[in-house]
Chains A and B, each alone.
Chain A
Amino acid sequence: MNNLEDELKKAFKSELGFEPGKGESEQKEIGQMKLIFERFVKDTRQARLVFWIFFLLSVGMMAGGYIGLRSAADTKGMLSWVLFFMIGFNSTILMKLWYWVVDTKLNVLKEIKELQLQIAESTGKSSPAEN
């Protein structure tokens, strides 16, 4: 690396004197962080809501299928209601499975990262490379 590039790094590390100003800018930052945080909370709630809507829909299908099966008069009608019931039943299983897979994956990754962080903190060095 040549001299100018070294100087550039140094100049940028000195932040070129650019820090968000005080007063109005600080207020804007606080307001902004609040807004972002609120959006995050809203988004998390929305994701949960979507999950529960689909889950209840699937349970509803199961219940409808079961009631339909009990009240069906002919074999063809019974088979249709069984199919309806099975779709609802499989949807609940798939949703639970999907949730479990995603949650487990995130938990395992989290554990790995925490372990890496502990190693890095105890050795004072950066963590080993990942594959």
Chain B
Amino acid sequence: MAKSREQIYDELLVLKSQQGDREAFGLLVDRWQKRLWRYAFQVTGSESAAWDVVQETWLAVVKGIRKLGDVAVFPRWAFRILNNKCMDWLRKRHQQNRLDSELSKRAQNESGVRQNINEKTELLCASIMKLSSEQRALLMLRYHEDFDINQIAEILGIPEGTVKSRTHRTIKLLRQLMGHQQNE
């Protein structure tokens, strides 16, 4: 598969970081920090928890980056670490329900800030907020980070078939939530 400039640049930064280049590592953190935070926020639903989880992830990345054999797998590897950290956090807290409502609240509060979003997208966003953390994480990886099914399976540590069925179920649920079922 052909690689984009961004991917090549990331790989170059990882290689330089493996050699101990501080500047390259700083750039790598800068490029990935917000992407990782967004995912963590979608899963944990809390801004401060997302920062904590991202920090733990980066510390794990620092520890393991030199042992990373194939630099091309960096995004998958980083997201796998992040996902594990998020799941650990969720398990520790047992407050998914509260967080989901916090996330919905925040989404409602921020809806006025969003620009150039049409009504349909607004409805979709509201429906996404009603999904569980795992379902949101799955959608984030598939439609925001553009990972393939096998890559998502690797990140989440589940079989490819499970990813397919979960995605299918989530989309179906989302359709139901959006009132799309009558069109099918």
A residues sitting closer than 8 Å to B (CB atoms) are 4-5, 7-21, 25, 28-29, 32-33, 35-37, 39-41, 43-44, 47-48, 103, 106, 109-110, 113-114, 116-117, 120-121, 125-130
Contact = CB atoms under 8 A, between A and B. Distances in A.
B121 A14 contact: yes
Contacts of B114: 14, 16-17
Name the residue in A16, A19, A29 with the highest tally of chain B Cβ atoms < 10 Å from its Cβ.
A16
A32 B58 CA distance: 9
Contacts of B125: 11, 16-17
Given A4-B180, A8-B139, A117 B12 contact: yes
B54 A32 contact: yes
A27 to B, nearest CB: 10
A43 B33 CA distance: 20
A66 to B, nearest CB: 34
A5 B9 contact: no
A29 B33 CA distance: 9
Nearest to A32: B55
A9 B141 CA distance: 11
B182 interface: no
Given A109-B71, A116-B8, A11 B42 contact: no
B34 interface: yes
B29 to A, nearest CB: 6
Interface string B88-107: 00000000000000000001
Interface in B150-184: 171, 174-175, 178, 180
Given A7-B124, A13-B144, A126-B5, A32 B51 contact: yes
B176 to A, nearest CB: 11
A10 B124 CA distance: 10
Interface of B: 1-5, 8-9, 11-12, 15-20, 22, 25-26, 29-30, 33-34, 37-38, 41-42, 47-48, 51, 54-55, 58-59, 62-63, 66, 71-72, 107, 110-111, 113-114, 116-117, 120-121, 124-125, 128, 139-140, 143-144, 171, 174-175, 178, 180
A25 B47 contact: yes
Contact of B117 (A14, A28, A110): A14
Contact of B63 (A29, A43, A117, A121): A43
18 contacts: A7-B120, A11-B124, A14-B116, A16-B128, A17-B111, A17-B114, A18-B110, A20-B34, A28-B51, A33-B26, A33-B33, A35-B55, A40-B17, A47-B66, A109-B15, A113-B15, A127-B5, A129-B3
Given A5-B171, A12-B140, A16-B114, 12 more contacts: A7-B124, A9-B144, A11-B143, A25-B47, A32-B54, A33-B30, A40-B25, A43-B62, A43-B63, A44-B22, A106-B19, A113-B8
